Structure 1
């Protein structure tokens, strides 16, 4: 049976291997390791709060309004409107405190599929956190859902940018248990496009910038922690990059 020291050493070796591979791929891409093609925008997050039983996460349970930075992206990326794993990243600004980062990928609404990244053509649709979170003893998933009252964000990054200029698309934020229905608690509104330099400098931390009450758990969280860290370090970006409303809003 391996000793505690041996187990820790094996975990350290695995983390080092993941970070080295992530750094190498980041250098090869000359940019982000994950979702390299994207557009960033100013935005706003409005939290309505939960009317039902509380989740124990203040960001979800309590009404609030936050300036935000929103990034729409393609994972591979494929050309134009070809199917891809689409991404929606939202940074909630809380200057001078650290921001909150929420990252979701195109997925499906049913419980058996919400933990899988699924390619699609349209930016409107269901996005899931893929990895689950722990809130006390609860296991939760976060999502961004198509807003029925929103302008259509289109089928390509160019169309999404045009939609933002015209009407400003929006998405509904929702939370669910591993098997329960999605329960809306807020809205993300997409605003004005940011420049290419601001988009390149933006660096999200989906593990370190979680709101209080949420804890990332499981192998996907471990993999994200080490791969994102290596990608940021290789790009010369910090986990707080793009965290100032003075820059992005």
Structure 2
């Protein structure tokens, strides 16, 4: 097998525009006294099982090669609107890679069709399609990632309390999938949601969907640039690091 050549992560942007966005985001975060993005959420232990990529490989070893990884999972509301109202819902998965650097996968409620996978779409229920919205690049190829509803899993409900209750009584699952810009979703694995974490552990979690990636994968496009600055500013406001929170021990 020909070894894969890792693609280095994107360079950290430190220009005047980046500093301006980061400072503005940090100021807003201090006013909110917490997360600027998806402030209301619940975190859980978890496990990611990779089955392997059906069809042509993606070029990302973590997605192409079967394996099991401890994970930390967070489900959240974007605004948040009052309980049960439509909102842009979020699912964050920190995959604790054996290399020591986590893979932070952040996906938002969206449509499954190619024309809708780039758009965050409000909905009421936590069961449904979540996509990365922004694309990634593996070499010259573009790649989207998603978490899809598992038809054999318990429903997650419409509120964060319902999500927590489902995690306590069952083992909810979502299906991980990959796609090109116009191709169908190809399932590559699943995320199992385990025991709820306490409020302090949830508050300590800090994700970085641009920097915490497998070596072959890089975030692409203007949305990735904006996301990097806003997440960094939000972490700065609450004194968190890009890899804060989430146990690296076996969780299930």
TM-score of the two chains, using structure 2 as the length reference: 0.92
User: CA contact under 8 A between 2:76 and 2:160: conserved in structure 1?
Assistant: yes
| Residues 202 and 248 of structure 1, relative CA distance in 2, 3 Å threshold | farther
Q: Shift in Å at residue 20 of structure 1?
A: 1.5
Figure out how many residues of one structure are paired with residues of the other and give that number.
Answer: 240
CA-based RMSD of the aligned residues comes to 1.6
Aligned to 1:109: 112
Counterpart of 2:125 (choices 108, 114, 122) is 122
Counterpart of 1:67 (choices 67, 70, 87) is 70
Q: Which runs of 4+ in 1 moved over 6 A?
A: none
Deviations 1:62-81 (A, max 9, x none): 00100100000000011211
User: CA contact under 8 A between 2:49 and 2:69: conserved in structure 1?
Assistant: yes
Once residues 18 and 242 of structure 2 are traced to their aligned partners in structure 1, the CA distance between those partners, rounded to angstroms, is 18
Once residues 54 and 84 of structure 2 are traced to their aligned partners in structure 1, the CA distance between those partners, rounded to angstroms, is 38
Stretches of structure 1 lacking an aligned partner (at least 5 in a row): 1-10
Query: Would you tell me which structure has more helix in proportion to its own residues?
Result: 1
User: CA contact under 8 A between 2:77 and 2:88: conserved in structure 1?
Assistant: yes
Aligned to 1:5: none
Stretches of structure 2 lacking an aligned partner (at least 5 in a row): 1-13
Deviations 1:152-174 (A, max 9, x none): 01001010000001112110000
State the structure with bigger RCO (CA 8 A, min sep 6), 1 or 2. 2
Aligned to 1:27: 30
User: CA contact under 8 A between 1:68 and 1:92: conserved in structure 2?
Assistant: yes
Once residues 217 and 175 of structure 1 are traced to their aligned partners in structure 2, the CA distance between those partners, rounded to angstroms, is 16
Please state whether the residue corresponding to 2:127 is helix, strand or coil: coil
